[in-house]
């Protein structure tokens, strides 16, 4: 994945949307320190076209796609947001590109073939995502994955002109900085294949767990659990939270300056993972066998977890036990008094 030089020194970026909600673009508009346009400039990226930002519509846009397809204009970076919609019956007619008589999936294939580097932005483009939930009525697929299996619209062996596979900036939605920083790393040649995990996600955010930096960690340590929405306790035991297993730096980076799902008081649903859209149980409840949550941290022996959990539960301070099932701090940490040791 070497640097892709362009004639004017800037990298040309095209952004397409298909079977998704546009939420990753909207999240991206919230980029801060610096804002989105400045971030792109800092990475040496020239926006050829983005559906929410650019002037060109219709004919002018279609002419741009034709120039890119034919190689008359260079395409360095192709970002695709939303899954590839292949239904009904593989025809792609559930998403014909407006103003053209071609399914969007064909445009994606044609443009990926000439792109230096392809980014799947969001879990839909990466793996199929929410659009592939239920009976997957639109036959939605990821670009290079179908769920957790390699394949997808472009096939398991696809690589861009740079020789690299699709980079999966998974998340529902993506954090704006996952995108801007991945683009920056790609532009500087630092997003090498060893910087991707086995699901194609940039390790810069995917090597972390959502659990890291969770403000409810003390409740987790003592297994002081929330029982209903708005409770302050740990949401792993009852409320369906998958933060201990989910890959992402959501609680160390923060969203919209101040938040994260857990800080907002609701469960992590593991939205950076393939298949998150079909957990096999209600999202808001932790499935259990014999009272023990089924989904425990992935790299910890279960017996140890259970033993530690029962020990820490027995040691839970009153403060945590009461605050865990309250929507505000009822018992404050005690201040150390003179004479305490």
Partner 1 sequence: MSRRIVGPFNRVEGDLEVHLDIQSGQVADARVVSPLYRGFEQILSGKNPRDALVYTPRICGICSVAQSAAAAAALADAQGLAMPPNGRLATNLVMATENVADHLTHFYLFFMPDFARDIYSSEPWFEDAAARFKAVSGTSASQVLPPRAEFMHLMGLLAGKWPHSLAIQPGGITRSIEVGEKSRMVSILFGFRRFLEEVLFGDTLENIAALDSADSLQRWFEQQPPERGDFRRFLRLARELGLDALGRGPDRFMSYGVYPDLEQPLFKAGVWSADESHAVDARTIAEDLSHSWMASRGQPLHPYDGITRPDADAEGAYTWCKAPRLDGEVVEVGALARQVIDGHPLALSLVRESGGNVRNRVVARLLEIARVVMAMEGWVRAIRPGDAFCTQAELPGDCSGCGMIEAARGSLGHWLKIRDGRIDNYQIISPTTWNFSPRDQRQVPGALEQALVGAPVRVGEEEPVTVQHIVRSFDPCMVCTVH
Part of the chain binding partner 1 (CB under 8 A), chosen from 89-97, 145-153, 209-217, 311-319: 89-97
**What binding mask, one character per residue, do residues 195-234 give for partner 1 by CB under 8 A, x or -?**
---------------------------------xxx-x--
| Per CB under 8 A, 8 contacts partner 1 | no
- In whole angstroms, the minimum distance from the beta carbon of 125 to partner 1 comes to 13
Judged by CB under 8 A, does residue 298 bind partner 1? no
Site for partner 1 in 273-292 (CB under 8 A): 282-284
Q: Does 325 sit near partner 1 (CB under 8 A)?
A: no
Quote the least distance from Cβ 25 to partner 1, whole Å: 7
Residue from 264, 287, 301, 333 touching partner 1 (CB under 8 A): that is 264
Residues in 36-75 that interact with partner 1 by CB under 8 A = 36-38, 47, 49-59, 61
Which of residues 1, 24, 121, 184 is near partner 1 by CB under 8 A?
24
Site for partner 1 contains 17 (CB under 8 A): yes
Do the beta carbons of residue 83 and residue 140 sit within 8 Å?
A: yes
Instruction: State yes or no: residue 243 binds partner 1 (CB under 8 A).
Output: no
Position 262 contacts partner 1 (CB under 8 A): yes
Q: What angle do CA 203, 208, 214 make, to 5 degrees?
A: 155
Of residues 131 and 162, the one with the C-beta less far from partner 1? 131
CB-wise, 192 or 230, nearer to partner 1? 230
| 96 near partner 1, rule: CB under 8 A | yes
Q: How far apart are CA 57 and CA 23, in angstroms?
A: 21
Instruction: Produce one character per residue of 258-275: b if its CB has 16 or more CB atoms within 10 Å, e if not.
Output: eebbbbebbbbbbbbbbb
Nearer to partner 1, 53 or 306 (CB): 53
Locate 253 and state its tokens.
């980076």
Distance CA 195, CA 265 (A): 32
Alpha carbon of 178 to those of 21, 87, 173, 212, 249: distances in Å? Answer: 18, 30, 10, 17, 10
Cα distances (Å, whole numbers) of residue 166 to 172, 277, 335: 18, 21, 53
Query: According to CB under 8 A, which one of 140, 143, 179, 236 is a site residue for partner 1?
Result: 140
- The CA angle 6-118-66, to the nearest 5 degrees, is 65
Kind plus residue range of the DSSP H or E element containing 119: strand 117-121
CA separation, residue 41 to residues 63, 162, 321 (Å): 25, 21, 50
């Amino acid at each position: 994945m070497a640097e892709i030089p362009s004639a004017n020194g800037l990298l040309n970026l095209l952004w397409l949307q298909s079977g998704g909600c546009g939420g990753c673009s909207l999240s991206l508009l919230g980029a801060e320190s610096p804002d989105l346009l400045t971030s792109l400039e800092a990475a040496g990226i020239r926006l050829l076209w983005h559906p929410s930002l650019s002037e060109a519509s219709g004919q002018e846009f279609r002419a741009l796609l034709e120039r890119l397809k034919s190689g008359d204009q260079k395409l360095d970076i192709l970002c695709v947001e939303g899954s590839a919609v292949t239904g009904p019956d593989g025809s792609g007619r559930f998403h014909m590109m407006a103003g053209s008589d071609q399914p969007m999936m064909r445009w994606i294939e044609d443009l990926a073939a000439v792109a230096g580097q392809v980014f799947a932005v969001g879990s839909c483009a990466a793996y199929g995502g929410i659009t592939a939930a239920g009976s997957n009525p639109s036959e939605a697929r990821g670009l290079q994955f179908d769920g957790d299996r390699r394949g997808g619209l472009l096939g398991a062996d696809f690589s861009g002109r740079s020789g690299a596979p699709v980079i999966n900036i998974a998340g529902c939605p993506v954090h704006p900085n996952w995108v801007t920083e991945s683009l920056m790393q790609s532009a500087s040649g630092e997003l090498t294949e060893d910087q991707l995990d086995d699901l194609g996600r940039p390790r810069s955010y995917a090597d972390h767990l959502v659990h890291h930096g969770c403000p409810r960690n003390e409740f987790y340590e003592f297994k002081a659990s929330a029982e209903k929405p708005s409770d302050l306790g740990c949401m792993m035991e009852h409320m369906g939270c998958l933060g201990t297993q989910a890959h992402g730096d959501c609680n160390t980076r923060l969203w919209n300056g101040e938040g994260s799902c857990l800080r907002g008081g609701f469960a992590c649903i593991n939205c950076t993972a393939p298949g998150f859209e079909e957990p096999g149980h209600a999202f808001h409840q932790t499935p259990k066998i014999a009272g023990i949550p089924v989904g425990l941290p992935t790299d910890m022996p279960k017996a140890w977890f259970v033993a530690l959990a029962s020990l820490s539960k027995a040691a839970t301070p009153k403060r945590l036990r009461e605050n865990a099932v309250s929507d505000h701090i009822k018992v404050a940490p005690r201040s150390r008094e003179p004479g305490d040791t």
